[in-house]
Each structure stands twice: as structure tokens, then as C-alpha cells.
């Protein structure tokens, strides 16, 4: 990805039913842009045809590739791997379902002259929620975000939207210190970015709820809350300690 302006990291776990439409839409949009780009799908130990489908797509679309990460470690693990291995000037990670349409990257790119990181956000005044989550997921999400603001990242209304853009230096600095392999990696990354003094823009985006989320509330919610508490207790010096290289 050397010399590439924008790299897009797509974490994927058993996404055979929707990964091809996602890649097709990304290709349609990105092919019309003037900058250079690359899309890397990182399969997190998928047991279905996700990897095969992306390989078939990449065979006729040279700006796409797939990395088959085995075994399954968690979304945070593959996002971290993709971020750290990218040499593009700007690195976006986008959820495989395109709940935030790829076109919304323009809004994030517009912030990069004055910021180091730009993140999609759902609850801002100008955000457009085309299809809302079920009421219980939305209610629990608000409660969790209150905990995040109280314990970790003040002033950011949505840490969990899967659409975040980093300057390469910020991505390297932040993700080399991230340790969480699970869904808590979003708030961990933003917490570390805050510790390091990076400028973060929270950007209203279009978003629609799409069935098939890999987050199981009763299982993953408590884990994320516990990870949040541990990060808070650890303190800034421990959070900023770089991970040992594998």
C-alpha cells in the first residue's frame, strides 16, 4: 500500500452473504475518485466462504485484497493488524455491512486538514439515521456511551460507530498501544488517542441499522464494560505502553 492515499480496512467474520455487495459498492464509489486507494478485507477466522468470495472479487479488481487471519481472535485484533500494516497516508476502517455508506468518507476526509482522526457519529444533530436500531439496543447503547464518557472519553457522543479515519502516524501511534481484541477496541483506541493529544473530529453521518450484528448484547456488553473499567484503572502510563511485538 506504499504511495496509496487511502486504505480501507474491512474486518469480516462469516460475511459470505453480504461481502460481495459491499465490495461492489466500494469499487463503484472509489473508482470515481481522483486519489489512489486500496481495500483490504481481513477475515477474522471465518468458517464460511468469506475469504473465497473476496479472492474471486480481487482476481478481477486489483485494488482489493484479502488477509485470512486464523484462528478467530476478535474484531479488535484484525482492525489493529490492518491499521499497523498499512502504509497509506490515510487509513479508514469500515464495517463489512456498510451501515455507514462508503460515500460518507468524504465528510471524514474534509476534516483531515485540521484533525488527525475523524470518526463517524450517529447521535449528532445532523446525523441521519435512516433505519434505527431496535429500541433495546439503542437504549443500552446510550447507557454504555454514558459510561464511556464518564470513565474514558469525555466529549465524544459515539465511540462505537464502525467508520473511523486515521492519519497514518496517528494509526501507528494509537494501534501499536491497543491491546483489546474484542469489540471494546473502539473506545480503547479513542482513549489512547486522547492520551496522546491527537485531534479527533466527531462527524455526523448517514447510518442505517442492518440485521446480522456480531455483537451479542448479553455476552459482549458486560465484557466491554469490564474492559472499560480496566482501562480506566490502568491509568495513562499503562495505556500508553506499546504492545510487545508478536
Task: Answer yes or no: is pLDDT of 244 > 70.
Answer: no
Domain contains 105: yes
Domain contains 245: no
| Cell matching residue 45 | 477466522
pTM of the predicted structure, to 2 decimals: 0.87
| Contact criterion met (CB below 8 Å) for 190 and 156 | yes
Domain contains 30: yes
Provide the pLDDT confidence category of residue 54 given band limits of 50, 70 and 90: very high
Question: Number of folded domains in the chain?
Answer: 1
Domain contains 148: yes
| Cis-peptide into 71, omega within 30 deg | yes
Domain contains 184: yes
When computed from its CA atoms, the radius of gyration of the chain, rounded to whole angstroms, is 17
- State pLDDT tens for residues 15-49: 999 999 999 999 999 999 999 999 999 999 999 99
| Cell matching residue 74 | 476478535
Most confident segment among 23-27, 133-137, 160-164, 226-230: 23-27
| Cell matching residue 155 | 466529549
| Contact criterion met (CB below 8 Å) for 168 and 198 | no
What is the C-alpha separation between 116 and 197, in angstroms, rounded?
Answer: 10
Task: Answer yes or no: is pLDDT of 211 > 80.
Answer: no
Query: Which of residues 64 and 184 earns the better pLDDT score?
Result: 64
* 100-104, 188-192, 195-199, 216-220: the lowest-pLDDT one: 216-220
Partners of 43 in the β-ladder: 12, 68
Task: Answer yes or no: is pLDDT of 221 > 90.
Answer: no
Domain contains 52: yes
| Cell matching residue 138 | 439503542
Domain contains 244: no
Mean pLDDT (the chain, rounded): 89
- State pLDDT tens for residues 144-164: 777 777 667 778 888 889 999
The CATH code of the domain that includes 135 is: 3.90.550.10
Reading phi first (left if > 0) and then psi (alpha if -120 to 50, else beta), residue 215 is in beta
Domain of residue 87: give its range.
6-239
Predicted local distance difference test score (pLDDT) of residue 1: 45
Amino acid at each position: 500500500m506504499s504511495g496509496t492515499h487511502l486504505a480501507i480496512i474491512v474486518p469480516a467474520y462469516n460475511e459470505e452473504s453480504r461481502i460481495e455487495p459491499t465490495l461492489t459498492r466500494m469499487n463503484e464509489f472509489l473508482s470515481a475518485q481522483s486519489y489512489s486507494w486500496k481495500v483490504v478485507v481481513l477475515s477474522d477466522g471465518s468458517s464460511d466462504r468469506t475469504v473465497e468470495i473476496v479472492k474471486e472479487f480481487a482476481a478481477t479488481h486489483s485494488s482489493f485484497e484479502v488477509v485470512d487471519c486464523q484462528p478467530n481472535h476478535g474484531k479488535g485484533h484484525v482492525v489493529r493488524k490492518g491499521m499497523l500494516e498499512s502504509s497509506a497516508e490515510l487509513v479508514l476502517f469500515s464495517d463489512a455491512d456498510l451501515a455507514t455508506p462508503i460515500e460518507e468518507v468524504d465528510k471524514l476526509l474534509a476534516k483531515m486538514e485540521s484533525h488527525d482522526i475523524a470518526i463517524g457519529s450517529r447521535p449528532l444533530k445532523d446525523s441521519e439515521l435512516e433505519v434505527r436500531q431496535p429500541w433495546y439496543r439503542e437504549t443500552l447503547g446510550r447507557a454504555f456511551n454514558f459510561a464511556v464518557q464518564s470513565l474514558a472519553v469525555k466529549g465524544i457522543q459515539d465511540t462505537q460507530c464502525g467508520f473511523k479515519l486515521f492519519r497514518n502516524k496517528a494509526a501507528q501511534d494509537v494501534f501499536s498501544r491497543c491491546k483489546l481484541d474484542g469489540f471494546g477496541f473502539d473506545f480503547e483506541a479513542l482513549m489512547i488517542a486522547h492520551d496522546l493529544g491527537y485531534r479527533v473530529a466527531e462527524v455526523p453521518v448517514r447510518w442505517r441499522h442492518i440485521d446480522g450484528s456480531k455483537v451479542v448484547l448479553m455476552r459482549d456488553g458486560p465484557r466491554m464494560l469490564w474492559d472499560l473499567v480496566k482501562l480506566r484503572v490502568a491509568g495513562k502510563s499503562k495505556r500508553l505502553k506499546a504492545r510487545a511485538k508478536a
